[in-house]
Amino acid sequence: MSSNKQRPSILDKSLSRGKSEVSMTAYALLFSEMVQYSHNRVQSVSDLHNKLSELGERVGVRMVELLFVRERNYKRETKLLNVLLFVKGTLWKSLFNKEADKLDRATDDERTFYLIEKEALVNRFISVPRDKSSINCAAFMAGVIQAVLNCTGFPAKVTALWHKGTTFMIKFDDAVLIRDKQLEGR
């Protein structure tokens, strides 16, 4: 393969319309290889989570760009609640063809939200070893969410927990809450 051919620029191609589909089996096996690869390169469960989260972040960054151009007509979100609904609705629908099951706010901490997905797609074919029951491969999806929130200007830390299926705990930076209060009523 020679390298002096004219390579196509990605900007010359028309944007994907998001209708293509692949089989669930193909995705499950790919994801499984990814988890095994990551698992071989880490020492602890939390390192594995970080590694999977990093893989998810690259997906999240690209989804933001894609969705705001294609689905939102370049209009960004400025309110905290709206960006969460964007994650629960638009993002989830494009990735998983359904809305996330539930969005909750922590009662004791206004910075914390919970996004609940009973049966996370990436966990469907994974059986967690008994001695490492805290492993949750949805850390990958936590990475996706985290990148989406960071890219839209709502920096947060997102972790995946085993609770009511999978719960994504979203903890926003203080600055996000302060700004959101200032915007209130506008």
Partner 1 sequence: MSRQSMRANDPKKVSGELFTLTYGSLVAQLLKDYENVDDVNRQLERMGYNIGMRLIEDFLARANPGRCYDLRDTADKIQQAFKLYLGVSPSIGSWSPGGDEFSVVMETNPMAEFVELPEHCLGLRYSNILSGVIRGACEMVQLEVMAWFIADQLKGDNMTEIRVKFVKRLEDAIPAGED
**Quick check: 1 binds partner 1 (CB under 8 A)?**
yes
For residue 98, CA distances in Å to 71, 91, 123 come to: 15, 9, 16
* Smallest gap from residue 33 Cβ to partner 1 (A): 4
**Quick check: 58 binds partner 1 (CB under 8 A)?**
yes
What are the helix (H) ranges across 71-138?
Answer: 80-86, 92-96
Indicate which single residue of 18, 69, 109, 133 sits in contact with partner 1 (rule: CB under 8 A): 18
Are the beta carbons of 180 and 79 closer than 8 angstroms? yes
Q: Which two tokens stand for residue 37?
A: 């690869």
For residue 24, CA distances in Å to 13, 30, 57, 86, 143 come to: 27, 10, 21, 24, 21
* Smallest gap from residue 24 Cβ to partner 1 (A): 5
Q: Which two tokens stand for residue 42?
A: 């880490």
**Quick check: 30 binds partner 1 (CB under 8 A)?**
yes
* Smallest gap from residue 179 Cβ to partner 1 (A): 28
Indicate which single residue of 42, 45, 66, 169 sits in contact with partner 1 (rule: CB under 8 A): 66
Residues forming a β-bridge with 168: 115, 160
**Quick check: 85 binds partner 1 (CB under 8 A)?**
no
Among residues 71, 57, 61, 64, the alpha carbon closest in space to that of 18 is found at: 71
* Smallest gap from residue 149 Cβ to partner 1 (A): 17
Chain contacts with partner 1 (rule: CB under 8 A): 1, 3, 5-10, 16-27, 29-31, 33-34, 36-37, 41, 54-56, 58-59, 62-63, 66, 71, 90, 93-97, 121
